[in-house]
Copies of this chain bind each other. A is one copy, B any other.
Amino acid sequence: MQRPSVTMKDVAKAAKVSVMTVSRAFNADKSVNAESRKKILAIAESLGYVFDATAANLRTQKSGFVAVTIPSINNANFAATVDAISERLAQAGLQVLLGYSGYAIDREEELIVQLLRRRPEAIVLTGGHHSPRARRLLENAGIPVIEIWELPADPLGHVVGFSNAQTMHGMVDHLVALGHKNICFVGGEETGDQRGMDRRRGFIEAMTAHGLSPEHLFAAGPAPVSMREGALAMAKLLDSFPQADAVVCVSDLIAFGALSECQRRGIGVPEDIAIGGFGAYEIAAVAHPTITTIDPQPREIGYRTAALIIDLLDPARDVAPRQRVEIDWRLLAAGSTSRRV
């Protein structure tokens, strides 16, 4: 039960070759005889040898890791982005080292330190808001830094994202075109969720641009907010502002909670009140009515991020610094916002 610790040396001895040849066999170096290689790998397998990446990394100064931070693992959209990153990077032999910042800037700083100690070859950060020390560490790390899911005003390095504020212009335009005027917003207060706050800001901008009052803002509590909070916030909203004819929610989960609350009260959606969400979560497509939402293409964010990293790590390619990849978002109009008569 103790570490058997079969090393390359043991394999070399058993195969009657030098350690170097074993190393070459494992790294698929062409200079090693194909037959020797096959034999060596077979002997290694029979000895139960497992290549030690730690030692190789130290020598080559390449960890094979890409560090990724997300606010929470329990969010289908971030999960989709991470999944896409992992999938694409695995093809390039890179492994994702994942960490959760818990929507807290100081948790993120500590996390970044822990991740940098592993000497990742690149680091991906969800969001563009970091502590001063975190910024310093990242700037000095000497590795590509990619911020995703936002378009930070002052990016650390590369960016793969979209304007969360802009998406809300799309949503408000859609509702105004349908004849809505008393439009409210739920979520995105000061909570550490920068993207939610950006969407709230975008809502205010868009309402103002249409000459409508952007003052009907309802809190849903600190991130992460979900369905339950959506129902509670909607109850508050209906009680305090019954004239509301549309509600924009910071996420589809909130929107679904809001929809549930309406159904509980016998309020018709979209006849009495329209509801819009964000995120194109599965629930938006399955709920009754289906929920109008914004698709931010989370997998596309992941793929583009991974592709950028692969390019950046390829010494043959000379990628310009501070790439800015803007991801298209789409409004998906659905049953929860239908034409007014």
Chain B CB within 8 A of A100 CB: yes
Q: Which of A75-105 contact B (CB under 8 A)?
A: 76, 79-80, 82-83, 86, 95-98, 100
- A116 engages B227 (CB within 8 Å): no
Say which residue of B5, B96, B113, B114 sits within 8 Å of A142 (CB atoms): B5
Say which residue of B54, B114, B227, B286 sits within 8 Å of A231 (CB atoms): B286
Complex: A283 Cα to B228 Cα, angstroms: 9
Q: Which of A106-163 contact B (CB under 8 A)?
A: 113-114, 116-119, 136-137, 140-143
Query: Contacts A79-B74, A97-B97; is A117 near B286 (CB within 8 Å)?
Result: no
Chain B CB within 8 A of A48 CB: yes
Least CB distance, A144 to chain B, in whole angstroms: 9
Q: Using a Cβ–Cβ cut-off of 8 Å, how many residues does chain A contribute to the interface with B?
A: 59
Least CB distance, A87 to chain B, in whole angstroms: 9
- B54 engages A63 (CB within 8 Å): yes
Contacts of A283 in B (CB 8 A): 227, 283
Complex: A164 Cα to B257 Cα, angstroms: 30
Least CB distance, A291 to chain B, in whole angstroms: 12
- B50 engages A117 (CB within 8 Å): yes
Contacts of A226 in B (CB 8 A): 282
- A52 engages B1 (CB within 8 Å): no
Say which residue of B3, B61, B82 sits within 8 Å of A61 (CB atoms): B3
Complex: A227 Cα to B80 Cα, angstroms: 17
Query: How many chain copies does the complex carry?
Result: 2
Contacts of A79 in B (CB 8 A): 73-74, 79
Chain B CB within 8 A of A4 CB: yes
Complex: A113 Cα to B57 Cα, angstroms: 16
Contacts of A143 in B (CB 8 A): 3
- A83 engages B73 (CB within 8 Å): yes
Query: Contacts A1-B142, A142-B3; is A113 near B50 (CB within 8 Å)?
Result: yes
Say which residue of B98, B118, B136 sits within 8 Å of A54 (CB atoms): B118
Q: Scan A229-250; emit 1 where CB is below 8 A from any B CB, else 0.
A: 0010000000000000000000
Complex: A53 Cα to B98 Cα, angstroms: 16
Contacts of A321 in B (CB 8 A): 1
Question: What are the nearest 3 A-B pairs in CB distance?
Answer: A48-B140, A53-B117, A227-B286
Sample of 26 A–B contacts (CB below 8 Å): A1-B142, A3-B142, A3-B143, A4-B142, A5-B61, A48-B140, A50-B116, A50-B117, A50-B137, A54-B58, A72-B83, A73-B73, A73-B79, A74-B80, A74-B83, A83-B100, A95-B97, A227-B282, A227-B283, A227-B285, A231-B286, A257-B286, A260-B287, A263-B288, A264-B288, A283-B283
